Amino acid sequence: MFTGIITDVGKIASLAQEGDLRARITTGYDTDRIDMGASIASDGVCLTVVDMGPDWYEVQISAETVEKTNLGGWVPGKRLNLERALKVGDELGGHIVSGHVDGVAEVVAMRDEGDSTRVTLRAPQALARFIAPKGSVALNGTSLTVNEVDGCDFGINFIPHTKEVTTWGDVAVGDLINLEIDTLARYVARLAEMS
């Protein structure tokens, strides 16, 4: 489990197709304190550490994960939002995030509002019903509050701090973004279906 509060911005050092896709990701994390087999959310995707060095870790990514996320567009040099798994007693500053991406949203519009940036994204139709104004979503692993919803489109406001400490300062129209809907929204919708 994760919180959606990004604690490092890493970078893809290399990619290799070895049956599964293997990625080496550089990080500011102290890798002496990362266990082999640990889970690290990388742009919102829960990935398992299979090797590591002094300032990097490697993960294996299945074809299923590549197909369901934006990882097929990863290239060396791409910056990634990183978060280590939640530990008992850690502050829950965002919302409960599993690292299991539900689909990919597309950035369809951006505009500056004061020092902040309003970004409009388009969710897949099957996921749009789970997104509600003032509800939570995880986008590329970042816990965010939804401002408004119009059909499949929804808006997010990025303050300067978020743009500085995550990869959201790099976003552009047309970018594909890993979307994880709020677990609570999923269960509420399921209960409504059953009643």
Domain boundaries of the chain, sorted by first residue: 8-84, 103-194
The DSSP code sequence of 92-153 is --S--B-S---EEEEEEEEEEETTEEEEEEE--HHHHTT--TT-EEEETTEEEEEEEEETTE
**Residue 91 CB partners (closer than 8 Å, separation 6+):** 3
CA atoms of 92 and 83, how far apart (whole Å): 13
pLDDT in tens, 38-76: 999 999 999 999 999 999 999 999 999 999 999 999 999
pLDDT, the chain, mean? 93
Least confident of 27-36, 65-74, 178-187: 178-187
pLDDT in tens, 87-140: 777 777 778 888 899 999 999 999 999 999 999 999 999 999 999 999 999 999
CA atoms of 120 and 59, how far apart (whole Å): 31
Kind and range of the H or E run holding 47: strand 45-53
Higher pLDDT, 24 or 182: 24
pLDDT score for 149: 97
Q: What is the mean pLDDT of residues 141-161?
A: 97
% of the chain beyond a pLDDT of 90? 83
The DSSP symbol for 2 reads B
Burial call 12-45: b when 16+ CB within 10 Å, e when fewer: bbebeeeebbbbbbbbebeeeeeeeebbbbbbbb
Q: Is the dihedral of CA 62, 126, 140, 190 positive or negative?
A: negative
Is there a shared CATH topology between the 8-84 domain and the 103-194 domain? yes
Q: What is the mean pLDDT of residues 11-18?
A: 96
**What's the angle, vertex CA 40, arms to CA 37 and CA 42, rounded to 5?**
135
pLDDT score for 42: 97
Specify the CATH number of the domain 103-194.
Answer: 2.40.30.20
Specify the CATH number of the domain 8-84.
Answer: 2.40.30.20
pTM: 0.93
Q: 82 in helix, strand or coil?
A: strand
Q: In this model, does residue 184 exceed pLDDT 80?
A: no
**Residue 181 CB partners (closer than 8 Å, separation 6+):** 102, 127, 130, 131, 137
The DSSP symbol for 88 reads T
**Residue 132 CB partners (closer than 8 Å, separation 6+):** 146, 149, 185
